[in-house]
Chains A and B, each alone.
Chain A
Amino acid sequence: MATNSLVSIDDISKEEILRILSAAQYFEQNPDHKILDGRVVATLFFEPSTRTRLSFETAVNRLGGRVIGFSDPAVTSTSKGETLKDTIIMVSNYVDLIIMRHYLEGAARYATEVTDVPVINAGDGANQHPSQTLLDLYSIYKTQGTLDNLTITMVGDLKYGRTVHSLLMAMRYFNPTFRFVACNELQMPQEYIRFCDDNGIAYTVHSDFSEAVIDTSDIIYMTRVQRERFTDIMEYERVKDLYNLRNSMLANSRPNLRILHPLPRVNEIDRDVDDNPKAYYFQQAKNGLYARQALICRALGIEVPIVNK
Chain B
Amino acid sequence: MSAESSKKELAVAALRNGTVIDHIPADVLFDVVRLLGIEDMATSVTIGNNLQSAILGRKGIIKVADVVFPEATLNRIALIAPSAKVNIIRDYEVVEKHHVTLPDELFGLVKCNNPKCISNNEPMRSHFTVVNRQPVTIRCHYCGHTQSH
Q: Which residues of chain A have a CB within 8 Å of any CB of chain B?
A: 8, 83-85, 102-107, 109-110, 124-128
Q: Does B4 count as interface, using CB distance less than 8 angstroms?
A: no
Q: Which residues of chain B have a CB within 8 Å of any CB of chain A?
A: 114, 116-119, 121-124, 140-145
If A83-B123, A107-B118, A127-B144 are given as contacts, then 19 extra A-B residue pairs at C-beta distance below 8 Å, sorted by A number, are A83-B122, A84-B122, A104-B116, A104-B118, A105-B116, A105-B117, A105-B142, A105-B143, A105-B144, A106-B117, A106-B119, A106-B143, A107-B142, A109-B142, A110-B118, A110-B119, A125-B116, A125-B143, A127-B143
Collect the chain B residues with CB atoms within 8 Å of residue A103's CB. 116
Closest 5 CB pairs of A and B: A106-B142, A105-B143, A106-B143, A106-B118, A104-B118
Collect the chain B residues with CB atoms within 8 Å of residue A110's CB. 118-119, 122, 124, 142
A254 to B117, CA, bound (A): 43
**B117 and A109 contacting across the interface, CB-CB below 8 Å:** no
A127 to B117, CA, bound (A): 10
Collect the chain A residues with CB atoms within 8 Å of residue B140's CB. 106
Residue of B114, B116, B119 with most chain A CB atoms under a 10 A cut-off: B116
Residue of A103, A126, A127 with most chain B CB atoms under a 10 A cut-off: A127
Residue of A106, A107, A124, A126 with most chain B CB atoms under a 10 A cut-off: A106
A125 to B144, CA, bound (A): 12
Collect the chain B residues with CB atoms within 8 Å of residue A102's CB. 118
Collect the chain A residues with CB atoms within 8 Å of residue B123's CB. 83
Q: Is the interface of B mostly helix, strand, loop or mixed?
A: loop
Q: Known contacts being A110-B142, A127-B143, A127-B144, is A105 close to B122, with CB within 8 Å?
A: no
Q: Out of A85, A125, A126, which one reaches B124, CB within 8 Å?
A: A85
A/B interface sample: 28 pairs, CB < 8 A: A8-B144, A85-B122, A85-B124, A102-B118, A104-B116, A104-B117, A104-B118, A104-B121, A105-B114, A105-B116, A105-B117, A105-B118, A105-B142, A105-B145, A106-B118, A106-B119, A106-B143, A106-B144, A107-B118, A107-B142, A109-B118, A109-B142, A110-B118, A110-B122, A110-B124, A125-B116, A125-B143, A127-B143
A188 to B118, CA, bound (A): 25
A12 to chain B, nearest CB (A): 16
A185 to B140, CA, bound (A): 25
A137 to chain B, nearest CB (A): 20
**A84 and B118 contacting across the interface, CB-CB below 8 Å:** yes
Collect the chain A residues with CB atoms within 8 Å of residue B116's CB. 103-105, 125-126
Residue of A8, A105, A107, A126 with most chain B CB atoms under a 10 A cut-off: A105
Closest to A110 in B: B118
A8 to B143, CA, bound (A): 11
A159 to chain B, nearest CB (A): 15
Collect the chain A residues with CB atoms within 8 Å of residue B121's CB. 104
B53 to chain A, nearest CB (A): 36
Collect the chain B residues with CB atoms within 8 Å of residue A109's CB. 118, 141-142
A83 to B124, CA, bound (A): 10
Collect the chain A residues with CB atoms within 8 Å of residue B144's CB. 8, 105-106, 127-128
A83 to B142, CA, bound (A): 16
Collect the chain B residues with CB atoms within 8 Å of residue A8's CB. 144
A83 to B118, CA, bound (A): 11
A106 to B122, CA, bound (A): 11
Collect the chain B residues with CB atoms within 8 Å of residue A83's CB. 122-123
A145 to B10, CA, bound (A): 77
Closest to B124 in A: A110
B120 to chain A, nearest CB (A): 8
Collect the chain A residues with CB atoms within 8 Å of residue B142's CB. 105-107, 109-110
Closest to A10 in B: B144
A69 to B43, CA, bound (A): 55
B110 to chain A, nearest CB (A): 14
